[in-house]
Amino acid sequence: MFIGHYGPAFAAKAVVKTVPLWVLFVAAQWVDFLWTAFVIAGIEKARIVENFLGLSPLDLYYMPFTHGLPSAALLSLFIGAVVSLAFKADRVAIVLAVAATAFSHWLLDLVVHAPDLPLIFDQMKVGMGLWANPYVSVPLEIGLMFLGLWFYDRVAPSPRRSGTVALWLFGFAMAGLQIHNTFLAEHPASSSGFAALALAGYVVLTLLAGGVDYLRRAR
């Protein structure tokens, strides 16, 4: 899952308003930030197999450190605790919201991945495989993202119209990116190239989230 992971980030922003949106975007892709680094470094393994699962070319055959259930839970608690240290109030709420956002990544991956998510280190792998049907998985991802975005905009509306416009334009741009990546983009030839491209995408979206957040602040 890609864009769908950001739905929980938007929703969490409505709950813990003091936490910047870009931080929640990092949390939503926290395990994938690590996954990209680990694949590039050769610590975790993947290979490109065209149309491996539907239109997805990723055979994610070894990723116990980032996408194993125990490690995903621990990494989620870790980033929640680290983020809470930057705030003096509502630390428990921040830990819970950020950790939940981070752990939602594993839960959403469970729906779309092939059975490649380990329950114990590199054993007992699970995954429902919805990526096999991109005409279902892509609308699901976009719908999850917009649901979180709508919830954020409704619960914590922007004091300025420019902030509202920026948020929804950002959402439609993200939806377009999901469609392009799934149906139109050419896949890198290597797993490290795929990881580097994914990392660049995560960073750009995080920076854009920071810009949208800035436009939605009260003056």
**CA distance linking residue 141 with residue 176, whole number of Å:** 12
**What residues form DSSP beta bridges with 58?**
48
Q: Say if residues 16 and 175 touch (Cβ distance below 8 Å).
A: no
**CA distance linking residue 212 with residue 160, whole number of Å:** 12
What pTM does this model have? 0.97
pLDDT given at position 90:
93
Q: Could you give the dihedral angle defined by the CA atoms of residues 182, 184, 186 and 190, in that order, rounded to the nearest 10 degrees? A: 0
| Count of domains for the chain | 1
Q: Say if residues 151 and 75 touch (Cβ distance below 8 Å).
A: no
Structural domain boundaries enclosing 13: 3-215
At 82, give phi and psi (nearest 5°): -65, -45
Count of other CB atoms within 10 angstroms of residue 98: 28
In three-state secondary structure terms, 185 is coil
Q: Say if residues 153 and 164 touch (Cβ distance below 8 Å).
A: yes
pLDDT given at position 1:
83
What are the residues whose beta carbons fall under 8 Å from the beta carbon of 169, sequence distance 6 or more?
A: none
In three-state secondary structure terms, 123 is strand
pLDDT tens for the chain, 219 residues long, are: 899 999 999 999 999 999 999 999 999 999 999 999 999 999 999 999 988 999 999 999 999 999 999 999 999 999 999 999 999 899 999 999 999 999 999 999 999 999 999 999 999 999 999 999 999 999 999 999 999 999 999 999 999 999 999 999 999 999 999 999 999 999 899 999 999 999 999 999 999 999 999 999 977
